[in-house]
Amino acid sequence: MVVNISDIERARLRIRDRIRPTSLEPSYSLSQMCGVSVHLKHEHRQTTGSFKLRGASNAVLQLSRDEQAQGVVTASTGNHGRALSFAAKTCGVKATICMSDLVPENKVSEIRRLGAEVRIVGHSQDDAQEEAERLARAEGVCLVPAFDHPAVIAGQGTLGLEIVEALPDVSTVLIQLSGGGLAAGVALAVKSRRPKARIIGITMERGAAMKASLDASRPVQVEECESLADSLGGGIGLDNRWTFAMCQDLLDDVILLSEQEIAAGMQHAYLQEREVVEGAGAVGIAALVANKVGNLNGPVVALLSGRNVDMELHRRVVCGV
């Protein structure tokens, strides 16, 4: 395995002045509902509104001066693009973010506000990825992938270290599963400290690329669809080098959620926890509310991964107006 626990520990030292450690809070409503202790990791309160700043910062800080001078490029469903734009700006590095037309406007406008160049390309994350790779080849800019990169995986894994240090006897971690950078990094960190902990990936039914790939025992393409959990969209890359193998080795289960179940998770987060989270950020809560986690043992940690939701959408989904 390319990434190891030492990489994650070094990443934490490297990015400690660039990110904020986030709190792990007990959820009384979910604990009562599930009959076991449930805690919520408030990563949606991270600077830039999602966990993505950890991996993006770790990647940018490891670039050479020459690489930083060339600038960085990536493909993103929104949160990685925002995080990379922020990390690049703080280091004086030019950033170009390629996205499909499925990315919500609130995420696009925030990336532009941070000074990055935005390119809207095609109708899927795969289309945006092709453009990012083309720019890297044609213009010599440094490609910083959203998930399939050792520095990104190690950066996301710092979140797992925080979980185990705050809750040493954690038994189950519910983690967002998309391209696998977050799931791989957190699973590695948690299992290195707590080998018997179960790490369960949570994703949407529509276009779950990593789940389809795990079922096929190889990376496969899927059709990308609109979803409340838009941050979980996109493929994992047919030439995936790191996250597929790590998720295959480290994840104990994967749970799929319907759009209605994701909406119920967003509603619970707001009405019971008083937290505004985007659809992807609520999938851990949603899996618990839908009673989809089998053999549930506590303590349980569900990650609130991001808050970058269009507030009009949030109002319609959560408040029904």
Residues designated as active site: 52, 305
DSSP-based three-state secondary structure for 273: coil
Which helix (H) or strand (E) segment holds residue 164: the answer is: helix 150-166
Reference 111, options 93, 91, 96, 121; nearest CA is 96
Instruction: Tell me the Ramachandran region of residue 149: left when phi exceeds 0, alpha when psi lies from -120 to 50, beta otherwise.
Output: beta
* Beta carbons of 147 and 153 less than 8 angstroms apart: yes
Per DSSP, 44 falls in state G
CB count in 10 Å sphere of residue 42? 17
* Type of residue found at 238: L
Instruction: Tell me the Ramachandran region of residue 78: left when phi exceeds 0, alpha when psi lies from -120 to 50, beta otherwise.
Output: left
Beta bridge partners of 120: 99
Question: Which pair of structure tokens corresponds to residue 235?
Answer: 């493929």
Question: Which pair of structure tokens corresponds to residue 204?
Answer: 């949407």
How far are the Cα atoms of 48, 217, 224 from residue 212, in angstroms, in the given order? Answer: 30, 9, 12
* Backbone phi and psi for residue 117, each to the nearest 5 degrees, phi listed first: -80, 130
